Structure 1
Amino acid sequence: LTGASRTRTLQVFDTELSADTVEWCPLPQWSHVLACGTYQLQKGDDKQTAEDSAPSRIGRLYLFDCNPQPSFIPPLTETQRIDTPAVLDLKWCHVPISERPLLGMATASGEIQLYKLMESQQGTCVLECELSTKLGPDRLALSLDWSTGRGESSDVRVVCSDSSGSLTALSLGEASLTAVCQWKAHDFEAWISAFSYWDTQIVYSGGDDCKLKGWDLRMGPSSPSFTSKRHTMGVCSIHSNPHREHILATGSYDENLLLWDGRNMKQPLSETAVGGGVWRLKWHPSQEHLLLAACMHNDFHILHCQKAMEGQDAPCPVLASYILHNSLAYGADWSRLPLSNSTPPSPQEPPQTSVGLTESGGHLRIQYESPTGSFDTSLEDDSGRYIPDQCSLPEKSSIPDPFTSPARDSQSLSCLMATCSFYDHMMHVWRWDWSPEEQQKPSEPAPSS
């Protein structure tokens, strides 16, 4: 039996400005909170002089409350919008700071801004700007990462990268965010910076110079601990696996996702062609083998990385794809919210809102539900008939069961996701239900004749 994988759109939200980053709060008490950042380039008008006509970049930070109960009510409620400089990246600190969630934002004004999540008088959650640090003149802050990926709360730090090719390591104090060191890391833009969550003195960076570099903050950042030219175009995404030491995922405009063992950066563990520039990579909050990729010109994909992590030098198979965005796939994140009715419907009862992977040649029919802005999808063939789920699922027999721990009795996984796309300024919230391949019982040996 092959495993069943199913994606279902729950809601679509028009962010008005181009959407490029979306992040669920990772703290259990606040996992219903979702933030989305936007970026809009505004050209100067004709009357301005040449000096004044540098394009301005505006943005907006949205905050949502999510209640994914199984009903026809859209799960998201917008609770706040804040006009800001254009937002290039958002990341929540993985641990509470002064007992509150803290959201970091990288902006086109070259600042890292920190927002504290508070309760409003109406009982909803709102963000209040707590701290702001300017990285330097004439630069855009492009990315940030917290050192807290494994829940470590001592010595909380932020690393960020910018359009001048520099990296900055910042330390979070009682009431300050202070630059510990700043250094030139790349020619051209430094698109991405990330901590090793297992040794937070190690920082990784990727730039438009096609280089992936490692830095040991104990040694001082005068020279990298390694430089890899394995990617052939700009390196724009890096994420350290919080569950498996030494495992690192990187992505590039060259449309390849590479998995690495941090102890040997000469050669990646595996290479997977994903058909679009890999702008963001996110490891699953609890399943060490699952990786979410935002692939710019080729949608969003969930990949299974177990064989690659075990050193089998195999590409990571795609478990599911979400193909309903009509523009550049930029922002993506897993929610930690538990989902009720987590068992997907069986193939005998075709669900009302489902779409499988469409290798079968079916078409996605979008069924709009006015006025919520959300829509459901179903799969239909050329004559408009509904295609049952089992027909639309490609063979996935090579994918292993991810639940390798014998303590797990659950044989299915349900996840809530948020993704956003750029020029059509859309954010989608969707769920993914996966029942891994069932192990077939060995058949009785045939009696010999």
Structure 2
Amino acid sequence: MLWSGALWKAGTTSWCHVPVAEHPLLAVANAKGAVEFCCLTGSEKNSCKFKPLCSVDLGDECLTLSLDWSTGRKQGGSPLQLVSSDSKGRLSLLSVDESSPSVHIMQQWKAHDFEAWIAAFDYWNTHVIYSGGDDSKLRGWDARVSPMAPVFTCERHSMGVCSIQCHPLRENLLATGSYDEHVLLWDTRNMKQSLADTHVQGGVWRLKWHPTQEHLLLAACMHNGFKILNCQGAMEENKERCPVLSSYVLHNSLAYGADWSRLTLKNPLVLSTEMPVVHEDEGATHVDLEVHNLKIVYESPTATFDVLLDEDQTPASPVQVEGSFDFQQPGPGGDGSNTKLAKAQRETSLLATCSFYDNVLHVWKWEISQTISSA
């Protein structure tokens, strides 16, 4: 099963978004301050295994706290890069040679006074890197110039900044989360004022944009479970808050890891890489959402798993829905009037979540209906 990013407790594992030498590539940050690289290969028994490739040490007496690939828009190319952050407040920019394979540190610099909890690329301009630290600062860096001075420093969060993700489908949109329990959306062209501010009542350890539905944002909220936010209003209508579509609270420990699967449920061997596009000439006016059952499809105390999707699985705890997301039936037609017609699309997403102290991984699916109304 391929996921779009990190799953484990501290977000210190990360899949490259594109195959390397025709194999999935995984970066693993360990507690010894090193980043290890493995590829996923097939075995003789019709299963998969990890093959160690290479590793790089980031320095003595540090913990590697986050990893992010430069391939967030699913675009390959040279050089293949990875950025990491560590417990000494440093960022390290790594270059991966796909032919060897080998890895080396291109640049390393002090970014924060305390732990640098998170580092992330701007997927639309991978020379730009964002970082967040326990000093409550969100910073931007340009790798083409001296990294000794940040491009900007923002102190909008009141506590440590521990999650950042650039939107892979919408340019200039950035999501950040903090121990202060707030998720902020930003237009990267103006980092003085956030676009939206949502209080999720739990420290936001990880944020993940949906790989195809650009308005959906998954948040791991530590003491308050996992939440799916609808950011459509903030993107299109300048609303200052993103309503919570669903909450998942079956974990009995800190909600630390969360991610969407990039595989389609109809064919689990095919990556879902294209986002449904509504063209302007179709006269689209808005998209309404109806949330369906949230079902748990796998629970395990280990990170090794096989998933079988079964429509008859017993639903998990009730979905908590905020706001009105009504399914609109197509209106009457044929009378010559300018009647809005509705096109209904139903999408099922597969997610994985994991918690800290109990070491449990949950795999679950979440269904929504989209009604696209047009004139």
- Structures share a fold, TM > 0.5? yes
What SS class does the counterpart of residue 179 from structure 1 fall into?
A: strand
Q: 1:209 to 1:293 in 2, by over 3 A?
A: same
Higher relative contact order (CA 8 A, sep 6+): 1
Instruction: Tell me which amino acid in the other structure corresponds to 2:90.
Output: S
What SS class does the counterpart of residue 308 from structure 1 fall into?
A: helix
- Provide the C-alpha distance between the structure 2 equivalents of 1:418 and 1:165, rounded to a whole number of angstroms: 29
Q: 1:264 to 1:180 in 2, by over 3 A?
A: same
Contact map agreement 2:16 2:27 (CA 8 A) in 1: yes
- Provide the C-alpha distance between the structure 1 equivalents of 2:176 and 2:326, rounded to a whole number of angstroms: 24
Alpha-carbon displacement from aligned partner over 1:117-143 (angstroms, at most 9, x marks no partner): 111121211111111000000100000
- Provide the C-alpha distance between the structure 2 equivalents of 1:181 and 1:326, rounded to a whole number of angstroms: 40
Query: Which residue pairs with 1:295 in the alignment?
Result: 221
Query: Which residue pairs with 2:351 in the alignment?
Result: 417
- Provide the C-alpha distance between the structure 1 equivalents of 2:374 and 2:232, rounded to a whole number of angstroms: 21
How far is 1:379 from its partner?
6.3
Does residue 1:24 correspond to 2:7, yes or no? no
How far is 1:99 from its partner?
1.2
Query: 97-106 vs 308-317, which deviates more?
Result: 308-317
Does residue 1:171 correspond to 2:95, yes or no? yes
Query: Which residue pairs with 1:133 in the alignment?
Result: 56
Show the 5 A alignment for 1:25-424.
25-26=3-4, 37=8, 89-154=12-77, 155-173=79-97, 174=99, 175-310=101-236, 312-340=238-266, 354=293, 376-377=314-315, 395-397=323-325, 410-424=344-358
Q: 1:354 to 1:153 in 2, by over 3 A?
A: closer
Alpha-carbon displacement from aligned partner over 1:199-237 (angstroms, at most 9, x marks no partner): 000000000000000000011201000000000000000
Contact map agreement 1:397 1:437 (CA 8 A) in 2: no
What SS class does the counterpart of residue 233 from structure 2 fall into?
A: helix
Query: Which residue pairs with 1:434 in the alignment?
Result: 368
Instruction: Tell me which amino acid in the other structure corresponds to 2:118.
Output: I
Q: 1:297 to 1:147 in 2, by over 3 A?
A: same
Contiguous gaps of at least 5 residues in structure 2: 268-291, 296-305, 329-339
Q: 1:185 to 1:320 in 2, by over 3 A?
A: same
Contact map agreement 2:136 2:157 (CA 8 A) in 1: yes
How far is 1:409 from its partner?
5.2
Contact map agreement 1:88 1:108 (CA 8 A) in 2: no
- Provide the C-alpha distance between the structure 2 equivalents of 1:327 and 1:415, rounded to a whole number of angstroms: 24
Instruction: Tell me which amino acid in the other structure corresponds to 1:396.
Output: S
**How many residues are treated as equivalent by the alignment?**
324
Identical amino acids, percent of aligned pairs? 52
Alpha-carbon displacement from aligned partner over 1:370-401 (angstroms, at most 9, x marks no partner): xx9x9844669xxxxxxxx9xx866424999x
Q: 1:244 to 1:440 in 2, by over 3 A?
A: closer
- Provide the C-alpha distance between the structure 1 equivalents of 2:200 and 2:245, rounded to a whole number of angstroms: 12
Q: 1:399 to 1:105 in 2, by over 3 A?
A: farther
Instruction: Tell me which amino acid in the other structure corresponds to 1:180.
Output: M
Contiguous gaps of at least 5 residues in structure 1: 1-22, 27-33, 39-86, 342-352, 357-371, 381-388, 401-405, 442-449
Q: 1:157 to 1:434 in 2, by over 3 A?
A: same
- Provide the C-alpha distance between the structure 2 equivalents of 1:287 and 1:321, rounded to a whole number of angstroms: 18
> TM-score, normalized by length of structure 1?
0.66
How far is 1:438 from its partner?
7.8
Contact map agreement 1:269 1:311 (CA 8 A) in 2: no
What SS class does the counterpart of residue 60 from structure 2 fall into?
A: coil
> TM-score, normalized by length of structure 2?
0.79
Q: 1:312 to 1:119 in 2, by over 3 A?
A: same
